[in-house]
């Protein structure tokens, strides 16, 4: 007879204003789930969730309206969702078998019954840590790849600046830029992260933006001849300072603006007029427009990982009980590297 | 014996802060000039200046520093300069002969002795009004052409918005967009200009931004399905409102931000985060990067002018005495169409 178990979930209590708090979510074990699928119903997949990705874009889904986000809002009273890695426990869908490992849209709960397995992709390469599929082999990796190679038009010798540089995307952009022969500087918010950037990720220089009185002065210190490429993850005052330091024909890839996500009114950017003088191209992008590049990206990144030519740092917390704190921590920069929640290790 | 005459000039008195005033310049006849070149000195050209172009970028040259401008500052106490049309009165340079008509960098004075004729181009096509070389056949024309075709990636059916739409550049961009099969809406600052846009320049719609309480509401009225291309001439609040109304994968060509040129601190733009959600590309440009396109542009524009398929409206004032008012008038939108100063008609 089929086993019915408690299914722990992370539920959003209500829509969020301002900075999200742990108490905006609750971890409950009220729900139950049957660990066997009905044999007479096709097209279903039962998952045991393993790793969850914590991403800044998820803040937008906590708003009452989808304005400012490209995905639907979360539903108060229901568990939240994101990208993750899971193991197939049972399947009545022809494409999936018990024991398969998959990545894709994952609900923040221990077990999930999936009625639309189109959102799942079978994991082919298992010689890397499975958690990598929440980041370097998932959305963050493709974001860094598409944003840098497709939007920034990098050339050898370009001066590249990356903000939020130790994060999931930033650490990869910086390393891609180094592989292209660029001069690379990153900013982050703690001494530990600056060390990581310089020692582990091979950035030429790095600085703690919290230690700088004047970001314009800081950028001039590291880029006396200006910036060719800015990979924008933070927005606000940093963007204004960068505009003052861009070189002629510079490129800005707008990946995120995390400093602005929790403000009622985003900060004004005053230096856009410099875009004319300097002929700057600034382009916003979303990884969902680049999913067709996954095979090309995997062809590049898998050998780099195996040969040790890319360093990838994750910040893994254990258990759904710690998931709300992990997600909320993104917005105060608590994570060092890619923030992941491990629910189970297979 | 060589004739020596008074040479009327428009002189900048001092660097300018805030809105420029007529009194920031003075028209003097203190200078004299000899209307014959010394025969024993080669490489010189003596010009009689005919038409002067008034352009918003000239405001930047009135600042004490070249910050915010891509050309040198004017020199207080000296006559200002810009683009214009002139006739060769005398020449000791092999490339120029008496009677030639030229366009290029022109000093705001009746006669000019040119020691660096590289900045002059001989006018080949004289079956159009000579004043056109200050605009549609000069910098404004190439600006509209390069900005629209090279930066905006126009497609048939695109929804195009042009601000400062009756100006030298805007009127051409709107007509180019109509020739491409786009839906085109323009904004301007008077009833007379709105009539011009709809009746003479064939815009689908036009509105007076001064009559609108809420620019976002105004744009939603004309673009219920959003804007594909924004040709930016004004900056400030209009840009913020446009960002709210851009469609996914929209393009913004940043040609100018005239609303900001006379402010000590430019207005903040708050809606840049929408560039991510909507994957907007925004690109600043300067016509000087596109001078190589002049022949291609002339091949397109000359037949259009001759066949009456392009309408071009100029606002011509007569005489150097009226030149300071004409230049200053750009910043309050006094001009209707391309602002030109006629010093002499050959």
- State which residues form the domain around B264: 139-288
Tell me: do B31 and B103 sit in the same domain.
yes
Is the Cβ of B271 closer than 8 Å to some Cβ of chain A? yes
CA of residue A341 relative to chain centroid, distance: 13
Whether residues A270 and B265 touch (CB distance < 8 A) is answered with yes
Residues of chain B neighbouring A280 (CB-CB closer than 8 A): 283-284
Residues of chain A neighbouring B284 (CB-CB closer than 8 A): 274-281
Tell me: do A30 and A89 sit in the same domain.
yes
Whether residues A273 and B265 touch (CB distance < 8 A) is answered with no
Tell me: do B95 and B154 sit in the same domain.
no
Distance from C-alpha of A186 to C-alpha of A182, rounded to nearest angstrom: 13
| Per-residue model confidence (pLDDT) at position B234 | 96
Token readout for A89 is 């426990």
In a domain, B12, yes or no: yes
The angle at the Cα of B62, spanning B339 to B102, to the nearest 5 degrees, equals 50
Residues of chain A neighbouring B257 (CB-CB closer than 8 A): 272-273, 276
Tell me: do B124 and B144 sit in the same domain.
no
In a domain, A57, yes or no: yes
Residue of A nearest to B69 (CA): A277
| Per-residue model confidence (pLDDT) at position B121 | 94
In a domain, B304, yes or no: no
**Least Cα separation, residue A236 to chain B (angstroms):** 9
Whether residues B68 and A257 touch (CB distance < 8 A) is answered with no
Mutate to test the interface with A, among B276, B283, B291 (most CBs of A within 10 A): B276
Average pLDDT value for residue range A155-179? 97
Residues of chain A neighbouring B273 (CB-CB closer than 8 A): 68, 235, 257, 260, 266
Whether residues A265 and B270 touch (CB distance < 8 A) is answered with yes
Whether residues B289 and A275 touch (CB distance < 8 A) is answered with no
Tell me: do B91 and B169 sit in the same domain.
no
Average pLDDT value for residue range B6-13? 97
**Least Cα separation, residue B332 to chain A (angstroms):** 19
In a domain, A97, yes or no: yes
Is the Cβ of B237 closer than 8 Å to some Cβ of chain A? no
Tell me: do B278 and B336 sit in the same domain.
no
CATH classification at residue B110: 3.90.180.10
Residue with the bigger pLDDT between B41 and A69: it is: B41
Average pLDDT value for residue range B154-170? 97
Whether residues A279 and B265 touch (CB distance < 8 A) is answered with no
Mean pLDDT (chain A, rounded)? 95
Residues of chain A neighbouring B254 (CB-CB closer than 8 A): 272, 275-276
**HEC profile of chain B:** CCCEEECCEEEECCCCCCCCCHHHEEEECCCEEECCCCCCCCCCEEEEEEEEECCHHHHHHHCCCCCCCCCCCCCCCCECEEEEEEEEEEECCCCCCCCCEEEEEEECECEEEECCHHHEEECCCCCCCHHHHHCCCCHHHHHHHHHHHHHCCCCCCCEEEECCCCCCCHHHHHHHHHHCCCEEEEEECCHHHHHHHHHHCCCCEEEEHHHCCCHHHHHHHHCCCCEEEEEECCCCHHHHHHHHHEEEEEEEEECCCHHHCCCCCCCCECCCCHHHHCCCEEEECCHHHHHHHHHHHHHHHHHHHHCCCCCCCEEEEECHHHHHHHHHHHHHCCCCCEEEEECCCC
pLDDT tens, residue by residue, B274-296? 999 999 999 999 999 999 999 99
pLDDT tens, residue by residue, B316-341? 999 999 999 999 999 999 999 999 99
pLDDT at residue B181 greater than cutoff 60: yes
In a domain, B293, yes or no: no
Whole-angstrom Cα Rg for chain B: 21
Tell me: do B132 and B163 sit in the same domain.
no
In a domain, A320, yes or no: yes
In a domain, A41, yes or no: yes
Q: Please tell me which of the candidates A257, A281, A286 has its beta carbon nearest to residue B283.
A: A281
Tell me: do B147 and B272 sit in the same domain.
yes
**Least Cα separation, residue A100 to chain B (angstroms):** 34
Average pLDDT value for residue range A34-56? 95
CATH classification at residue B223: 3.40.50.720
Is the Cβ–Cβ distance between A152 and A214 less than 8 Å? no
Q: Are strands A338-342 and A314-318 parallel, antiparallel or unpaired?
A: parallel
pLDDT at residue B108 greater than cutoff 80: yes
Average pLDDT value for residue range B128-145? 96
Is the Cβ–Cβ distance between A286 and A57 less than 8 Å? no
Token readout for B200 is 């003479």
Q: Please tell me which of the candidates A239, A267, A270 has its beta carbon nearest to residue B266.
A: A270
Interfacial A residues in 53-72 facing B (CB < 8 Å): 68-70
Secondary structure class of A144 (helix, strand, coil): helix
Residues of chain B neighbouring A281 (CB-CB closer than 8 A): 281-284
pLDDT tens, residue by residue, B84-101? 999 999 999 999 999 999
**Which residues does residue B46 pair with via DSSP β-bridges, in sequence order?**
B90, B113
pLDDT at residue B249 greater than cutoff 80: yes
Tell me: do B143 and B130 sit in the same domain.
no
Average pLDDT value for residue range B116-126? 92
pLDDT at residue A298 greater than cutoff 90: yes
**Which residues does residue B33 pair with via DSSP β-bridges, in sequence order?**
B5
pLDDT at residue A33 greater than cutoff 70: yes
In total, the C-beta contacts within 8 angstroms joining chain A to chain B are 102
| Per-residue model confidence (pLDDT) at position B265 | 87
Confidence class for position A141, pLDDT limits 50, 70, 90: very high
CA of residue B23 relative to chain centroid, distance: 22
Tell me: do A103 and A143 sit in the same domain.
no
What is the ipTM for the molecules in this complex?
0.93
Confidence class for position B158, pLDDT limits 50, 70, 90: very high
| Per-residue model confidence (pLDDT) at position B43 | 93
Q: How many domains does chain A have?
A: 2
Q: Are strands B25-28 and B120-122 parallel, antiparallel or unpaired?
A: unpaired
Work out the percent of chain A whose per-residue pLDDT is above 90.
92
Confidence class for position A264, pLDDT limits 50, 70, 90: confident
**Least Cα separation, residue B281 to chain A (angstroms):** 4
Tell me: do A144 and A263 sit in the same domain.
yes
Interfacial B residues in 119-148 facing A (CB < 8 Å): none
In a domain, A305, yes or no: no
Tell me: do A110 and A29 sit in the same domain.
yes
């Amino acid at each position: 007879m089929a086993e019915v178990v408690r299914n722990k979930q992370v539920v959003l209590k209500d829509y969020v204003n301002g900075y999200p708090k742990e108490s905006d979510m609750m971890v409950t074990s009220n729900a139950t789930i049957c660990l066997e699928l009905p044999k007479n119903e096709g097209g279903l997949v039962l998952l045991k969730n393993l790793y969850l990705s914590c991403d800044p874009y998820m803040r937008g889904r906590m708003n009452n309206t989808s304005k400012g986000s490209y995905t639907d809002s979360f539903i108060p009273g229901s568990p939240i969702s994101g990208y993750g890695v899971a193991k197939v426990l049972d399947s009545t869908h022809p494409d999936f078998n018990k024991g398969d490992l998959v990545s894709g849209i994952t609900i923040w709960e221990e077990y999930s019954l999936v009625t639309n397995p189109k959102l799942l992709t079978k994991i082919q390469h298992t010689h890397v840590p499975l958690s990598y599929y929440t980041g370097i082999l998932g959305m963050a990796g493709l974001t860094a790849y598409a944003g840098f190679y497709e939007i920034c038009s990098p050339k050898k010798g370009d001066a590249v600046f990356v903000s939020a540089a130790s994060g999931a995307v930033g650490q990869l952009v910086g390393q891609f830029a180094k592989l292209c022969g660029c001069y690379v500087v990153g900013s982050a918010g703690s001494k530990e992260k600056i060390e990581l950037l310089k020692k582990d990720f091979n950035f030429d220089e790095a600085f703690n933006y919290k230690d700088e009185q004047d970001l314009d002065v800081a950028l001039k210190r590291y880029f006396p001849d200006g910036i060719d490429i800015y990979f924008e993850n933070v927005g606000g005052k940093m963007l204004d300072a960068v505009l003052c330091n861009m070189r002629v024909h510079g490129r800005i890839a707008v990946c995120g603006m995390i400093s602005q996500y929790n403000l009622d009114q985003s900060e004004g950017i005053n230096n856009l007029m410099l875009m004319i003088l300097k002929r700057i191209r600034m382009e916003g992008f979303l990884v969902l427009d680049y999913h067709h590049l996954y095979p090309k990206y995997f062809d590049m990144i898998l050998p780099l990982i195996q040969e040790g030519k890319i360093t990838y740092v994750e910040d893994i917390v254990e258990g759904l009980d710690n998931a709300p704190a992990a997600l909320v921590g993104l917005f105060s920069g608590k994570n060092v590297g890619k923030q992941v929640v491990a629910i189970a290790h297979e």
